[in-house]
């Protein structure tokens, strides 16, 4: 596991975007797993900048998003609207600014009438695409990956989940409140890739920022692997694992100084790209 500790949110975001850009340059038809939430916004902003200023080409890239609220209207054929879906978030923050092809975008369908059937189809779609090359992940305040709330099986597949009070509170503050949506109208269900699904991605990159994530980041990286902190499944991944943190999010790590030492040595000996 490569734990990279950057000074602040901007540096963390630029680094994470740089890793994604490397994948896109090396494999122009790569399959990216994408995440929503407040943390990846800076990463997407930097990717948009790289597309506009450096010609980073997304025309062959295929994407799968981690999760979506269930019961939210999404219709990609209609003009972008004002709902709080993660589909809207992705269009607003990334897709509409880059040259990705619409047919290469996969998002969980939050208004499917057959959630279980959809979840099975989503799993098959990931397989048909040849699997995910790089999965981007945040970490929730309750330690979740995607919407795999505490108690989710670490072998779980794409399915419907009931959101915890903490997730509802966090996301209300971050998104719904600003949009003027009453708390009681927030969806309580979501479709999410499972932890088993996520662990099959060939590489994963988790990003986290801010002091409020310090405790849960330390539990996920250095605590026991447990379904109570589903992001702790990061310790089970057999392939490339990159964790990019800012100083505040890293402040609870027992091995923080060691991770920084490793990064310095990698830089000194030119090993800084070994995670790609
Ligand atoms: P956040 O959410 O980026 O808004 O903190 C992370 C997550 O829930 O995975």
* 252 assigned to some structural domain: yes
Q: pTM for this one?
A: 0.94
Query: Tokens 């305040």 — which residue?
Result: 141
pLDDT band at 276 (very low <50, low <70, confident <90, very high): very low
Determine if ligand 1 sits within 6 Å of the CB of residue 37: yes
Beta strands in 48-200 (DSSP E): 62-65, 67-69, 105-106, 134-137, 159-162, 189-192
Please compute the mean of the pLDDT values over residues 153-178 and round it to a whole number. Answer: 90
Q: Is residue 273 part of a domain?
A: no
What is the pLDDT at residue 79? 46
pLDDT band of 181, cuts 50, 70, 90:
confident
- Compute the distance between CA of residue 198 and CA of residue 159 in angstroms, rounded to an integer: 13
Kindly give the distance from the C-alpha atom of residue 193 to the centroid of ligand 1, in angstroms, as a whole number: 15
Quick check: CB of 139 below 6 Å from ligand 1?
Answer: yes
Beta carbon of 138 within 6 Å of any ligand 1 atom: yes
Is residue 253 in some structural domain?
yes
pLDDT of residue 77: 53
Q: Report the pLDDT averaged over residues 33-58.
A: 97
Beta strand 240-246 pairing with 67-69: unpaired
For residues 131-144, average pLDDT: 97
The verdict on residue 220 lying in a domain is yes
Is pLDDT of 73 > 60?
no
Q: What range does the domain containing 211 cover? A: 2-268
If you take atom 2 of ligand 1, which residue's CA is the nearest one?
A: 37
In the numeric block, which tokens belong to residue 1? 């596991």
User: How many domains are contained in the chain?
Assistant: 1
CA gap 242, 12 in Å, rounded: 12
Residue 208 located in a structural domain: yes
CATH number for 197: 3.40.50.1360
Is pLDDT at 130 greater than 60 in this prediction?
A: yes
Residue 275, domain member (yes or no): no
pLDDT of residue 92: 92
Under the banding of pLDDT at 50, 70 and 90, the label for residue 179 is: confident
Closest CA to 69 of 96, 88, 43: 88
Is it the case that residue 132 has pLDDT exceeding 50? yes
Residue 237 placed within a domain = yes
Q: What is the largest CA-CA distance in the chain?
A: 55
Q: How far is the CA of 214 from the centre of ligand 1 (A)?
A: 13
Q: When comparing pLDDT for 273 and 256, which is higher?
A: 256
Residue 56 included in any domain: yes
- Compute the average pLDDT of residues 208-234: 98
């Amino acid at each position: 596991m490569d734990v990279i500790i950057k000074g602040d949110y901007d540096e963390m975001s630029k680094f994470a975007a740089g890793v994604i850009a490397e994948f896109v340059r090396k494999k122009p038809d790569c399959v990216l797993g994408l995440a929503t939430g407040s943390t990846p916004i800076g990463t997407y902003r930097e990717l948009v900048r790289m597309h506009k200023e450096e010609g980073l080409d997304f025309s062959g890239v295929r994407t799968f998003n981690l999760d979506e609220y269930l019961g939210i209207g999404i219709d990609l054929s209609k003009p972008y609207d004002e709902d709080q879906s993660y589909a809207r978030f992705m269009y607003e923050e990334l897709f509409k600014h880059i040259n990705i092809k619409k047919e290469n975008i996969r998002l969980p369908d939050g208004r499917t009438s057959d959630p279980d059937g959809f979840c099975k189809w989503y799993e098959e779609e990931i397989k048909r695409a040849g699997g995910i090359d790089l999965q981007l992940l945040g970490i929730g305040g309750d330690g979740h990956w995607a919407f795999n709330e505490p108690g989710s099986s670490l072998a779980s597949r794409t399915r419907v989940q009931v959101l915890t009070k903490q997730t509802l509170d966090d996301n209300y503050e971050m998104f719904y409140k600003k949009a003027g949506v009453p708390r009681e109208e927030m969806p309580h269900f979501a479709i999410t890739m499972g932890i088993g699904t996520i662990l099959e991605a060939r590489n994963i990159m988790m990003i986290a920022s801010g002091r409020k994530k310090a405790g849960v980041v330390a539990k996920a990286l250095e605590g026991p692997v447990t379904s109570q902190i589903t992001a702790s499944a990061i310790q089970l991944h057999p392939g490339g694992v990159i964790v990019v943190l800012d100083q505040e999010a890293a402040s609870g790590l027992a091995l923080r100084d060691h991770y920084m030492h490793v990064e310095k040595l990698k830089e000194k000996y030119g090993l800084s790209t070994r995670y790609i």
